[in-house]
């Protein structure tokens, strides 16, 4: 049985805990003074211990994994509560905080040498996310297995080589669902302007997107191949795609990624 301490439980933390509720090989304690009452009520009949302050020294020695999930802007203040603790031997300190590097945690949490940065995404809420990892060099195989197995319960996992890659993954998969929802909203608004009702627009757009994804997964074809199958010369699809390309859709997406990536780097530089 592995005991997990989750420090901070906002939208992403809550999504993770919801997907972990039925795990038998892990137990969870959540520390969140800001959302304590709401979380206490939410998880009152579940196997989650919700508290409003950091654990005691005695309690800290029982945890196998600590996951920091607070906002980047307050992480320094939060870590100050943990800097003087003695930890269980081979404890794993992990973070899902955008931009904050492993060295950031090493400087603030002493007597610990195993660290992992993780970037999950919001579809973890329905166990269909993807979580990217990068670790300190001395991560044990046992701890790697534990944390990987934990996050396999919220979707797929991908281990990366360095922290620059995880900042880039933050821009692609971490923030990606937000871009997708923005695009879906635009698709729906466009359909409504064509004369469809909101309900009709939702049904048309969602099923078109889902069907396209399933088609790509089923056929294992490249997206450009499928595009060419649909966009016959002189047809309606070609006309629509030409408009996207005229407005440089590739550049728009790349610049979207770069904006998020640059922000992740800035968050990493903040003290």
Query: What does each of the 271 residues of the chain score in pLDDT, given as a tens digit?
Result: 899 999 999 999 999 999 998 888 899 999 999 999 999 999 887 779 999 999 999 999 999 999 999 998 899 999 999 988 999 999 999 999 988 999 999 999 988 999 999 999 999 999 999 999 999 999 999 999 999 999 999 999 999 999 999 999 999 999 999 999 999 999 999 999 999 999 999 999 999 999 999 999 999 999 999 999 999 999 999 999 999 999 999 999 999 999 999 998 888 776 5
Q: How far apart are CA 130 and CA 154, in angstroms?
A: 8
For strands 65-68 and 2-7, give the pairing.
parallel
**How far are the Cα atoms of 7, 48, 75, 91, 203 from residue 131, in angstroms, in the given order?**
18, 22, 21, 21, 29
CA dihedral 239, 240, 245, 246 (to 10 degrees): 70
pTM, to two decimals: 0.90
- Which residues have CB under 8 Å from 230's CB, separation 6+? 237
**How far are the Cα atoms of 163, 187, 193, 244 from residue 237, in angstroms, in the given order?**
40, 15, 19, 11
Residue 271: per-residue pLDDT: 53
**How far are the Cα atoms of 48, 55, 111 from residue 43, in angstroms, in the given order?**
6, 19, 32
Phi, psi for residue 56 in degrees, rounded to 5:
-75, 170
Q: How far apart are CA 153 and CA 23, in angstroms?
A: 9
Residue 73: per-residue pLDDT: 87
Residue 91: per-residue pLDDT: 95
Q: How far apart are CA 149 and CA 211, in angstroms?
A: 30
Residue 270: per-residue pLDDT: 60
DSSP state of 112: -
């Amino acid at each position: 049985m592995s005991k997990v301490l989750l420090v901070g439980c906002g939208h992403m933390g809550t999504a993770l805990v919801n997907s972990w509720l039925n795990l038998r090989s892990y137990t969870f304690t959540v520390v969140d003074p800001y959302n304590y009452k709401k979380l206490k009520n939410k998880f009152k009949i579940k196997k989650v211990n919700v508290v409003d302050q950091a654990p005691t020294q005695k309690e800290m020695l029982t945890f196998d994994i600590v996951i920091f999930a607070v906002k980047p802007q307050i992480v320094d203040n939060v870590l100050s509560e943990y800097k003087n603790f003695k930890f269980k031997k081979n404890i794993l300190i992990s973070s899902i905080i955008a931009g904050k590097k492993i060295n950031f945690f090493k400087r603030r949490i002493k007597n610990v040498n195993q660290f992992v940065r993780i970037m999950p995404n919001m579809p973890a809420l329905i166990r269909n996310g993807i979580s990217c990892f990068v670790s300190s060099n001395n991560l044990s195989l046992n701890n790697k297995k534990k944390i990987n197995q934990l996050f396999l319960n919220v979707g797929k996992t991908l281990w990366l080589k360095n922290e620059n890659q995880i900042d880039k993954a933050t821009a692609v998969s971490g923030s990606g669902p937000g871009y997708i929802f923005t695009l879906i909203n635009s698709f729906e608004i466009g359909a409504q302007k064509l004369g469809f009702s909101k309900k009709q627009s939702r049904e048309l757009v969602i099923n078109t997107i889902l069907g396209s994804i399933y088609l790509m997964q089923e056929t294992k074809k490249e997206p450009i191949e499928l595009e060419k199958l649909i966009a016959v010369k002189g047809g309606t699809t070609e006309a629509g795609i030409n408009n996207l390309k005229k407005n440089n859709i590739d550049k728009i997406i790349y610049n979207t990624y770069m904006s998020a990536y640059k922000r992740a780097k800035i968050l990493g530089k903040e003290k």
